[in-house]
């Protein structure tokens, strides 16, 4: 009982004293777990949303489609409706391929489903605003309507004829916008299309007015909803009929998320990596304090288990708090990320697997950050630990000799970097990660894409591309934020550690400007290899994810990104370096004699 | 001791036993071993030297305790000269201690000034000895002796620091007379 | 005294710490002139402000009031950068805690000021070797500070202070961390510097160091209370010190 109180007290005192480190760890873990949780749950959430939509709109299990019309097709479809596995059916109904124009300029391909004015038992699209079809009017699918910017009461032109929009509805019979066309005209390939409904007679009139392509569709509800494959195999006799199962549609829903998942998951990894580098640097700065504390506890008789608990609890507590925060954020932003179109309804939570993985990630980040100093603290003998002093940097005569040839700021920078090679590596990793993210954003933006408008016009933007770019940008901003925090912290920590030597240098005649530039150089010098490694790494990683016909980013852009990163690093280090370089010399010198 | 006794008479004429009492009080435990007759021997010598004079004798003429002694003008000059002397007794610090006490009691000089003057002198001597010591090759016998002298001087200088602190703090405390 | 001979001058120097009730005058209206070639020692009890005075003379702290001149130039109004340049040319510091860079060898420590002043590496290294020879550590040029004794470390620090041929060397308790033998080594070097005409200002509470000076200033509570020349020898000679001829 007493040891629990001790641990709590120590942790609270530490948190109060090391606020910056606590805030950094909390921020980094929150961001990393949120991203990772979002990425891991995307598919499941998408599936869950499809199922909820299917339930709400009484969606079918299988849709049988045929690009040809005629009595043969009709009778084949009708016989399907009487198959033993089928418990309910809707149709056959007409699907007409047309063009929809709104406000005179924005055009999109559209498939028009001809439905009865009173929806049946199966395939009852859920009307979210307005009313269901009436003669002379049309109901638009919600995702389509949102993309067009059309509401109830607006007028649209379909195949040259104006129709008022009388309602907006949601359905599971097609995949989300813009994959409303399940098969193309006459059974051929399909294009990005939206979905609209009209009355049966309106649909027939529309089709015959311009001799538009028509597909016949039949909605089926099976006794065993899961057995769609079996049903297809059993009835795949005619080449005229294509079967689309609900699983296929749900799968199609995730196409829009095809890049989102790797962006988020990989982004989560990179964020965790940056989190570890940043916090590890700070933890290394506290190594002496931790070693002394471990020595003290050993001297008063604490068990190794208790010591490890004391050393690790602070980080674990923060990591778990960050984990909880991150999961909450993921839960809140899930709908926007997993369902970029407005085509689906419902709510979805995070699965147990995701929560577990995210928590494990948070714990691993915490443990990795503090692993080195903790191990060192536990292994040092008690007497040595009690009088532990800062780890003396190793002497490297060739670096000293080399730096003597350089002007003063670089001399100081090189020597400062050499004192803590571990931190230099961390800074390089931080810079490399930032460069990877920026190059990824640039590459993504360089890809050509097809708009959702008529003939691929980008009047209607490619939602998938936008979604990807938005997510990528968000992840990059988060990465850059962490990298910025890391850089500032590294600079400040270096300055603190080296303050005695910097004070001596100032008494020997180094100006504050030279010291400040030296501190900046100490961060820039490791940044150079980071940038050099980051560019090819990012190209390599992107090639794993992008399509074969992806366009390569121009080299000039990547060089620009690398240069911008270096300049930004220099700018970020400037302020903390300047502050550190101007501290009064005398107190630092006197403090060292104590 | 002679000069110290003279200086004690500078304040006012005193009986022998009164002087002895003051000396004992000033020297504290170090004065226990003082011979009780010593003071009268000293006073007789001083009288012979013309530095003190016997003012009047109360009671029986043979009893020396009843004599009251006072300074002659020669004695006063001697006291003034003694106060400014910076010769250093070895290893008896009592004389300097008494000098300070007497100077303060008779308001003849500022004890803090006396200490400062003595300090300057000792520092000058330390400087000479040190220069001689630096000139000696390492490990020579003379160098060892010089090191001993340096240590003594340093110790005396520290005591003078303490004297200065004490006398600049309280004026009459130390003398206690 | 010729004005151009004065290396360091202070007028009405004041340094206060703290606010309101706890305001304390570390240096209280100090006037000081140090001519070329003089060795000045400032003595006093701890906390009397002598280290602060040294920092003010060397530009490591800014005075609250008064003026400081080094080599005829006013330094208390200089910017930090100008102060640093002044320190490169005119002032060498020696500290009680040596303040050597632990990862650099003795020679690398000594050449540091020259490198900071922009001299070429070869020049700086040559100069460092000469200085180490002067302080008697030529054979220890490649040793790290951790491999040197306290006295040797302080001698390296003195060599470093001399690297840019400063006008004045300011030493803050140079023998504070040293034993007797090491103190003598350092005193020997100070003697040699004195006879070479180097201006020295030493702050100390060690009487041995004070005794080597030409001029001794006593300080208490931020003020000078005594200013003596420790000139030629006592006529009695050394024999009198051990009872001979007394």
Q: Mind spelling out the 3-state secondary structure of A323-351?
A: HHHHHHHHHHHHHHHHCCCCCCCCCCCCC
Q: Which chain A residue is nearest to residue C84, measuring alpha carbons?
A: A509
Instruction: Note the pLDDT of residue A327.
Output: 94
Residues 6 or more apart in contact with residue A276 via CB below 8 angstroms? A365, A368, A369
The contact set of A with C (CB < 8 A) is: 392-397, 400-401, 404-405, 407-408, 411, 419, 500-501, 503-514, 582, 584-586, 589-590, 592-593
Confidence of residue C110 (pLDDT cuts 50, 70, 90): very high
Instruction: Note the pLDDT of residue C236.
Output: 47
C-alpha span between A141 and A32 (Å, rounded): 36
Q: Which residues of C touch B120 (CB under 8 A)?
A: 216, 228, 230
Instruction: Note the pLDDT of residue B13.
Output: 87
Subunit contact A507:C58, Cβ cutoff 8 A = yes
Subunit contact C208:B145, Cβ cutoff 8 A = no
Q: Which chain B residue is nearest to residue C241, measuring alpha carbons?
A: B149
Query: What percent of chain C is modeled with pLDDT above 90?
Result: 46
Strands of C223-229's sheet in order across: C91-94, C168-172, C199-204, C39-43, C215-220, C223-229
Q: Which chain B residue is nearest to residue C188, measuring alpha carbons?
A: B134
Rounded to a whole number of angstroms, the distance between the first and last alpha carbons of chain C is 40
Q: State both tokens at C218.
A: 């006593």
Residues 6 or more apart in contact with residue A285 via CB below 8 angstroms? A493, A496, A497
Say if B and A touch: at least 3 Cβ pairs within 8 Å.
no
Min Cα–Cα distance to chain C from A27, Å? 37
Test the A interface: residue of C103, C104, C118, C123 with most A CBs within 10 Å: C103
Confidence of residue A547 (pLDDT cuts 50, 70, 90): low
Q: Is C156 part of the contact surface with chain B (CB cutoff 8 Å)?
A: no
Instruction: Note the pLDDT of residue C232.
Output: 54
SS3 C178: coil
Please tell me the pTM assigned to this model. Answer: 0.78
Mean pLDDT of B37-49: 87
Q: What is the per-residue pLDDT across A80-124, written as a single tens digit (0 to 9) for each?
A: 888 888 888 887 888 999 999 988 788 889 999 999 888 888 889
Pick the residue with more confidence: A454 or A154?
A: A154
Instruction: Note the pLDDT of residue A457.
Output: 77
Subunit contact B130:C226, Cβ cutoff 8 A = no
Pick the residue with more confidence: C180 or C160?
A: C160
Pick the residue with more confidence: C124 or C180?
A: C124
Instruction: Note the pLDDT of residue A552.
Output: 73
A549 burial via Cβ count (<10 Å: 0-12, 13-18, 19+): exposed
What is the average pLDDT score of chain B?
81
Instruction: Note the pLDDT of residue C235.
Output: 46
Min Cα–Cα distance to chain B from C83, Å? 36
Instruction: Note the pLDDT of residue A549.
Output: 61
Q: What is the per-residue pLDDT across A281-313, written as a single tens digit (0 to 9) for each?
A: 888 888 888 888 888 888 877 788 888 888 889
Q: State both tokens at A254.
A: 């995730």
User: Is residue C199 pLDDT above 60, yes or no?
Assistant: yes
Looking at the partner chain, which of B123, B134, B149 has a beta carbon nearest the beta carbon of C210? Answer: B123
User: Is residue A167 pLDDT above 90, yes or no?
Assistant: yes
Instruction: Note the pLDDT of residue A199.
Output: 92
Instruction: Note the pLDDT of residue C239.
Output: 55
User: Is residue C96 pLDDT above 80, yes or no?
Assistant: yes
User: Is residue A127 pLDDT above 50, yes or no?
Assistant: yes
SS3 A220: strand
Q: Which chain C residue is nearest to residue A512, measuring alpha carbons?
A: C81
Q: Which chains have 3+ CB pairs within 8 A of C?
A: A, B
Q: Which residues of C touch B124 (CB under 8 A)?
A: 211, 230-231, 233-234
Q: Is C229 part of the contact surface with chain B (CB cutoff 8 Å)?
A: no
Instruction: Note the pLDDT of residue A228.
Output: 86
Q: Is C216 part of the contact surface with chain B (CB cutoff 8 Å)?
A: yes
Q: State both tokens at A38.
A: 């979002």
Mean pLDDT of A152-177: 91
CA-based R_g, chain A, Å: 32
Min Cα–Cα distance to chain C from A496, Å? 16
Instruction: Note the pLDDT of residue B130.
Output: 84
Q: Is C165 part of the contact surface with chain B (CB cutoff 8 Å)?
A: no
What is the average pLDDT score of chain A?
87
Residues 9-48 of B with CB under 8 A from C: none
Q: Is C233 part of the contact surface with chain B (CB cutoff 8 Å)?
A: yes
Mean pLDDT of C101-120: 88
C-alpha span between B43 and B69 (Å, rounded): 8
Confidence of residue A450 (pLDDT cuts 50, 70, 90): confident
Q: Which residue has the tokens 């030629």?
A: C232
Instruction: Note the pLDDT of residue A196.
Output: 93
Instruction: Note the pLDDT of residue C231.
Output: 65
Confidence of residue B29 (pLDDT cuts 50, 70, 90): low
Contact A179, A173 (CB under 8 A): no
Instruction: Note the pLDDT of residue C67.
Output: 92
Q: State both tokens at B141.
A: 């016998």
C-alpha span between A113 and C239 (Å, rounded): 128
Scanning A404-462, the segments in alpha helix (DSSP H) are 408-419, 421-446
The H or E element containing residue A322 is helix A304-338
Query: What percent of chain A is modeled with pLDDT above 90?
Result: 25
Q: Is B166 part of the contact surface with chain C (CB cutoff 8 Å)?
A: no
Q: Is C217 part of the contact surface with chain B (CB cutoff 8 Å)?
A: no
Q: State both tokens at A543.
A: 């090639």
Query: What percent of chain B is modeled with pLDDT above 90?
Result: 5
Peptide bond into A18 cis (omega under 30): no
Q: Which chain C residue is nearest to residue B124, measuring alpha carbons?
A: C230
Instruction: Note the pLDDT of residue C1.
Output: 47
Q: Which residues of C touch A593 (CB under 8 A)?
A: 95-97
């Amino acid at each position: 009982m007493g040891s629990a109180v001790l641990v709590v007290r120590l942790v609270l005192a530490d948190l109060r004293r090391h606020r910056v480190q606590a805030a950094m760890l909390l921020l980094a873990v929150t961001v990393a777990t949120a991203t990772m949780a979002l990425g891991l749950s995307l598919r499941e959430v998408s599936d869950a949303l499809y199922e909820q939509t299917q339930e709400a709109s009484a969606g079918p299990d299988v849709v049988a489609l045929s690009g040809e019309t005629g009595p043969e097709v009709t009778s084949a479809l009708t016989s399907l409706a009487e198959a033993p596995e089928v418990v309910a059916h809707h149709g056959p109904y007409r699907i007409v391929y047309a063009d929809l124009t709104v406000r005179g300029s924005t055009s999109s391909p559209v498939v028009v489903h001809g439905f009865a004015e009173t929806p049946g038992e199966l395939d009852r699209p859920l009307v979210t605003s307005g009313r269901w079809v009436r003669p002379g009017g049309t109901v638009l699918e919600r995702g389509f309507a949102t993309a067009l910017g059309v509401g109830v009461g607006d007028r649209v032109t379909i195949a040259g004829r104006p129709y008022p929009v009388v309602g907006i509805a949601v359905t599971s019979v097609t995949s989300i916008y813009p994959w409303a066309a399940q098969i193309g005209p006459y059974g051929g390939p399909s294009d990005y299309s939206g979905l609209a409904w009209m009355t049966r007679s309106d649909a027939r009139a529309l089709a015959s007015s311009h001799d538009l392509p028509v597909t016949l569709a039949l909605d089926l509800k099976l006794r065993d909803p899961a057995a769609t494959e079996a049903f297809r195999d059993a009835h795949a006799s005619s080449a005229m009929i294509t079967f689309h199962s609900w699983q296929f549609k749900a799968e199609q829903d995730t196409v829009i998320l095809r890049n989102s998942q790797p962006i988020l998951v990989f982004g989560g990894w990179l964020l965790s990596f940056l989190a570890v580098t940043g916090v590890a640097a700070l933890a290394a700065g506290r190594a002496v304090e931790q070693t002394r504390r471990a020595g003290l506890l050993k001297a008063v008789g604490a068990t190794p288990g208790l010591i490890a608990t004391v050393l690790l609890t602070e980080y674990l507590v923060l990591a778990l708090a960050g984990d909880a925060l991150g999961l909450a954020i993921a839960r809140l932003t899930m709908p926007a990320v997993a369902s970029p179109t407005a085509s689906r309804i419902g709510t979805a939570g995070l699965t147990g697997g995701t929560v577990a993985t995210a928590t494990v990630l948070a714990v691993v980040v915490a443990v990795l950050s503090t692993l080195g100093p903790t191990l060192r603290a536990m292994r040092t003998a008690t007497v040595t630990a009690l009088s532990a002093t800062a780890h003396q940097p190793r002497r490297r005569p060739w670096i000293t000799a080399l730096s003597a040839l350089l002007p003063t700021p670089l001399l100081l920078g090189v020597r400062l970097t050499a004192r803590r090679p571990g931190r230099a590596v961390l800074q390089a990793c931080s810079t490399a990660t930032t460069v990877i993210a920026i190059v990824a954003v640039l590459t993504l933006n360089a890809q050509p894409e097809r708009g959702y408008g008529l003939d691929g016009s980008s009047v209607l933007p490619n939602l998938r591309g936008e979604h990807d770019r938005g997510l990528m940008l968000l992840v990059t901003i988060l990465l850059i934020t962490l990298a910025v925090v890391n850089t500032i912290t590294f600079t400040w920590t270096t300055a603190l550690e080296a303050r005695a030597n910097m004070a001596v240098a100032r008494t020997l005649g180094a100006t504050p400007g030279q010291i400040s530039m030296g501190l900046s150089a100490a961060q820039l010098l490791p940044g150079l290899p980071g940038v050099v490694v980051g560019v090819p790494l990012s190209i390599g990683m992107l090639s794993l994810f992008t399509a074969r016909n992806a366009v390569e980013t121009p080299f000039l852009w990547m060089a620009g990104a690398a240069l911008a990163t270096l300049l930004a690093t220099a700018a970020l280090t400037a302020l903390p370096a300047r502050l550190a370089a101007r501290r009064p010399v005398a107190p630092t010198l006197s403090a060292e004699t104590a | 001791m002679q000069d110290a006794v003279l200086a004690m008479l500078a304040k006012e004429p005193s009986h022998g036993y009164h002087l002895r009492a003051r000396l004992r009080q000033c020297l504290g435990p170090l004065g226990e071993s003082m011979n009780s007759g010593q003071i009268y021997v000293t006073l007789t010598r001083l009288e012979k030297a013309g530095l003190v004079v016997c003012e009047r004798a109360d009671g029986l003429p043979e009893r020396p305790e009843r004599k009251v002694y006072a300074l002659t003008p020669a004695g006063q000059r001697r006291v003034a000269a003694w106060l400014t002397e910076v010769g250093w007794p070895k290893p008896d610090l009592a004389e300097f201690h008494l000098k300070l006490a007497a100077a303060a009691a008779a308001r003849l000089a500022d004890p803090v000034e006396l200490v400062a003057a003595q300090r300057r002198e000792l520092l000058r001597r330390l400087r000479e000895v040190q220069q001689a010591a630096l000139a000696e090759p390492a490990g020579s016998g003379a160098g060892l002796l010089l090191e001993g002298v340096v240590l003594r001087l340093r110790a005396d200088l520290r005591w003078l620091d303490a004297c200065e602190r004490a006398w600049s703090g309280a004026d009459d405390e130390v003398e206690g007379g | 005294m010729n004005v151009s001979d004065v290396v360091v001058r202070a007028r009405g120097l004041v340094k206060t710490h703290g606010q309101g009730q706890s305001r304390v005058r570390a240096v209280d209206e100090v006037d000081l002139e140090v001519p070329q070639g003089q060795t000045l020692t400032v003595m006093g009890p701890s906390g009397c402000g002598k280290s602060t005075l040294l920092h003010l003379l060397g530009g490591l702290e800014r005075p609250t009031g008064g003026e400081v001149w080094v080599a005829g130039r006013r330094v208390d109004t200089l910017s930090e950068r100008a102060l640093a340049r002044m320190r490169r040319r005119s002032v060498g510091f020696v500290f009680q805690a040596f303040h050597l860079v632990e990862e650099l060898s003795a020679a690398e420590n000594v050449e540091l000021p020259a490198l900071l002043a922009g001299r070429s590496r070869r020049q700086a290294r040559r100069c460092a070797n000469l200085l180490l020879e002067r302080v008697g550590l030529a054979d220890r040029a490649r040793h790290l500070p951790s491999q040197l004794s306290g006295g040797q470390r302080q001698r390296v620090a003195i060599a470093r202070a001399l690297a840019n041929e400063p006008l004045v060397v300011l030493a803050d308790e140079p023998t504070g961390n040293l034993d007797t033998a090491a103190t003598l080594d350092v005193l020997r070097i100070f003697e040699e510097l004195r006879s070479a005409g180097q201006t020295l200002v030493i702050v100390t509470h060690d009487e041995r160091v004070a005794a080597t000076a030409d001029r001794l200033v006593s300080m208490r509570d931020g003020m000078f209370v005594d200013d003596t020349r420790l000139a030629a020898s006592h006529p009695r000679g050394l024999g009198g010190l051990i009872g001979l001829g007394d």
